[in-house]
Structure 1
Amino acid sequence: MERATRVGNRLLAALPPADFALLAPHLRKVPLQHDEVLVRSGDRIDHIYFPCSGAIALIMELPNGQTAATAVVGNDAAIGLMTALGPLRSPMTAVVRVAGAALQISPTRFQTALERSPALRGLVQLLSRALMTQIQHVAACNALHSVEARLARWLLHIHDRTDGGDVLPLTQETLSELLGVRRTTVTHVIGALRTSRALKSSRRGQLEIDRRRLEVVACECYKVMSRRIDRIVSQDALKVLHAAPPPNDSLPPDVPFAKADS
């Protein structure tokens, strides 16, 4: 538990010390600012981010300008790990929706460590499975369930990845982007959630939720998706990382981060 607190990101914290030491000198702690775009669709991925706090939405942008969220990630995931497969351009836009902090590393540095660490390769596979599970389930949910139930699900996913209490810093524009609907539809859905008291208040740029009531409104996708993702990144699943042989020329396990910016 002590190391998980120090590292912040669940995936990095699960690595064996010798494998984490391959990354540690090159990790730089950076703030994640609200509404910051970490990478845009079609752009080259210049940085990999391992969030320690906050929530990041992955947004699919269509040629006609419409957008919709495909996933929300926090300290259980990473942004930009597809570069492990080679120099790629991002298929989605990653936007910070709840401010926090992350450990940042260049794709080149990560790729070098990846070549020396079977455990890191296992980490990339685990993350890919968890992210694909969420994207596939979101696609099915969007086709089958009401906008009200889907918004409740997104709010619960974001709340799971924040530590700021029951007030979420989300604008109607952000909710429209998450859901792929017009702002007029968002206004109607927010009104319905307030009527059911799943939302206590909806001031400009802030939503105060009642989590218990929100879980009642949300479709079953929230619990099913959460269970499946938790199972993938559970401690039992992460034990496979420790089964990999350690790198032969690793650094000592307590090497500090290269730089930590507040």
Structure 2
Amino acid sequence: MKRHTSVGNRLLAGLPSADLCLLAPHLQQISLKRDAVLVRSGDRNEKVYFPHSGMISFMLDMPNGQTVATSVIGLEGAVGMLSVLGPSHSPTTAVVRVPGIASQISASRFHAAFGRSSGIKQAVQTHTRAVLMQLQHVAACNALHPVEARMARWLLHVHDRIDADAILLTQEALSELLGVRRTTVTLVMRKLRASGAVRSGRRGMVEIDRPRLEGAACECYKVMSCQYHQIFPAGDNEASQSGRTGR
């Protein structure tokens, strides 16, 4: 673990220098390991994480043991940031799906800086808008669209947050994202392979053909991308040049 030395997260990069200085001395850079659980549902948010790379999914745990993704974030968002708005117990489980790096800070230090900074308050508002937008569209998409279109949408969300066209996601991870059985994932991936939208290799490696995958996805993806552009205007920081989230 090392001290934070550069800004790669969009929320951090968008802060005025004076506001970032309230956080910078307390930020530590860590590795996000695949399948690592950053916080479990019902646990207190002890830390706030600002991803610089990789992808994290927020999973809702149902009483019958099933899990389903409610949203995902990459370098545009944070984990634990919304604890400043109310009770600090997490309503979801945050799981690293694509490894990367992040800056972390204790929740108590972040809350203290939040109370002193209008810039950090604005960043929390921006993050809240992005999360609520995603939650609303995911809920509608789950209710209205077939699983193949939803699979394509999730794969595009993942692709927006990585630097390669090859995505390492196991069938178990995909089944949890979609809230379906692994047998359903197998059938859906077979259809996407037949259309040329994806090519699956060994060990869960999924190589995508983005234009074809966009054609297989429901309209929710384009609507959400448009709204991300409105929430995170292009050119507002270094991350917007990467061509990932909100491309």
Given the two structures, how large is their TM-score scaled by the length of structure 1? Answer: 0.86
Q: CA deviation at 1:87?
A: 4.4
Aligned-pair identity (%)? 60
CA pair 8-236 structure 1, distance change in 2 beyond 3 A: closer
What secondary structure does 1:197 align onto?
A: coil
Residue 205 of structure 1 is matched in structure 2 by: 204
* Structure with more relative contact order (C-alpha pairs < 8 Å, separation 6 or more): 1
Q: CA deviation at 1:226?
A: 1.2
**Consecutive unaligned residues in structure 2, runs of 5 or more:** 238-247
**Residues 134, 229 of structure 1: 8 Å contact kept:** no
Q: CA deviation at 1:115?
A: 1.0
Q: CA deviation at 1:155?
A: 0.3
**Consecutive unaligned residues in structure 1, runs of 5 or more:** 239-262
Residue 182 of structure 2 is matched in structure 1 by: 183
Q: CA deviation at 1:108?
A: 0.7
Provide, for residues 117-154 of structure 1, a one-character-per-residue CA deviation record: whole Å limited to 9, x for no partner.
Answer: 11111111110011000011000000000100000000
Matching of residue 225 in structure 1 with residue 230 in structure 2: no
**Residues 53, 101 of structure 2: 8 Å contact kept:** yes
Q: CA deviation at 1:237?
A: 8.6
1: distance between equivalents of 2:229 and 2:132? 13
2: distance between equivalents of 1:233 and 1:117? 20
Provide, for residues 32-61 of structure 1, a one-character-per-residue CA deviation record: whole Å limited to 9, x for no partner.
Answer: 001111111111111100000001011111
The number of equivalent residue pairs is: 233
Amino acid in structure 2 at the alignment position of 1:153: R
Amino acid in structure 2 at the alignment position of 1:104: Q
Q: CA deviation at 1:202?
A: 3.8
**Residues 14, 236 of structure 2: 8 Å contact kept:** no
**Residues 47, 80 of structure 2: 8 Å contact kept:** yes
1: distance between equivalents of 2:135 and 2:35? 21
Larger of the two Rg values belongs to structure: 1
What secondary structure does 2:154 align onto?
A: helix
Amino acid in structure 2 at the alignment position of 1:148: E
The 5 Å alignment of 1:65-214 reads: 65-163=65-163, 165-214=164-213
2: distance between equivalents of 1:87 and 1:175? 30
Q: CA deviation at 1:6?
A: 3.0
**Residues 231, 237 of structure 1: 8 Å contact kept:** no
Given the two structures, how large is their TM-score scaled by the length of structure 2? Answer: 0.91
RMSD in angstroms over aligned alpha carbons? 1.5
What secondary structure does 2:196 align onto?
A: coil
